[in-house]
């Protein structure tokens, strides 16, 4: 009788451990899909936005809080999906995409001339890449690209227009 109880409790313990491992792994590998999960910033602390495009050496810096808040609002309207390494290689084209005049790099900072809290890579009116702040500087930076739903595409287009107008 005691052997039967021991075997049942051992099976129950094994099943419990397997269940907990599955829950743990599933929870840890949850893919991020919102900008504030990928590159969390405190809207009230962002004081400066720096924009650079293509091969342009000087970047333009803006401290207009309305412009910064508009950008953050648009960014929050975008749904993202994690990029595969192959997708990153295709989109970034060995870094050549950063030299095109159609590509904008936007950095959000808490202090003027401070460390970037979030970086936004606008490749076109339809493609926005958001590097994961948590993985930056820790080997490979995981990147996310906007989804192709209407809401996301409209928001990317608005951010692209905002960046283009700012640079003109």
Residue 53 scores a pLDDT above 50: yes
24 and 43 fall within a common domain = no
Name the range with the highest mean pLDDT among 8-12, 36-40, 52-56: 36-40
Residue 159 scores a pLDDT above 70: yes
44 and 86 fall within a common domain = yes
pLDDT tens-place string over residues 11-48: 544 444 544 434 444 344 457 889 999 999 999 999 99
131 and 90 fall within a common domain = yes
pLDDT tens-place string over residues 132-145: 988 877 788 899 99
4 and 63 fall within a common domain = no
7 and 57 fall within a common domain = no
**Residue 69: per-residue pLDDT:** 94
142 and 69 fall within a common domain = yes
Dihedral Cα 69, 74, 78, 82, nearest 10 deg:
-50
62 and 74 fall within a common domain = yes
**Residue 137: per-residue pLDDT:** 77
**Residue 8: per-residue pLDDT:** 52
21 and 52 fall within a common domain = no
17 and 48 fall within a common domain = no
pLDDT tens-place string over residues 105-127: 999 999 877 788 999 999 999 99
76 and 91 fall within a common domain = yes
**Residue 92: per-residue pLDDT:** 93
Residue 152 scores a pLDDT above 60: yes
Give the Cα separation of 46 and 71 in Å (integer). Answer: 11
Q: What average pLDDT does the structure give for the chain? A: 83
12 and 82 fall within a common domain = no
Q: Note down the domain range covering 97.
A: 32-167
Total domains in the fold of the chain: 2
Residue 102 scores a pLDDT above 60: yes
**Residue 131: per-residue pLDDT:** 94
Residue 1 scores a pLDDT above 70: no
Give the Cα separation of 6 and 20 in Å (integer). Answer: 21
39 and 105 fall within a common domain = yes
């Amino acid at each position: 009788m005691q052997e039967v109880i021991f075997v049942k409790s051992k099976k129950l313990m094994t099943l419990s451990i397997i269940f907990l491992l599955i829950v743990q792994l599933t929870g840890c590998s949850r893919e991020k899909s919102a900008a504030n999960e990928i590159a969390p910033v405190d809207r009230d602390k962002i004081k400066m936005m720096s924009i650079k495009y293509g091969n342009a050496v000087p970047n333009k810096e803006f401290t207009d809080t309305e412009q910064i808040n508009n950008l953050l609002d648009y960014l929050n309207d975008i749904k993202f999906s994690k990029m595969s390494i192959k997708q990153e290689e295709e989109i970034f084209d060995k870094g050549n995409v950063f030299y095109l005049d159609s590509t904008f790099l936007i950095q959000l900072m808490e202090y003027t001339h401070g460390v970037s809290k979030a970086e936004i890579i606008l490749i076109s009116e339809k493609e926005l890449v958001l590097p994961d702040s948590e993985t930056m500087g820790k080997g490979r930076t995981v990147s996310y690209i906007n989804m192709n739903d209407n809401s996301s595409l409209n928001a990317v287009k608005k951010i692209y227009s905002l960046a283009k107008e700012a640079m003109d």
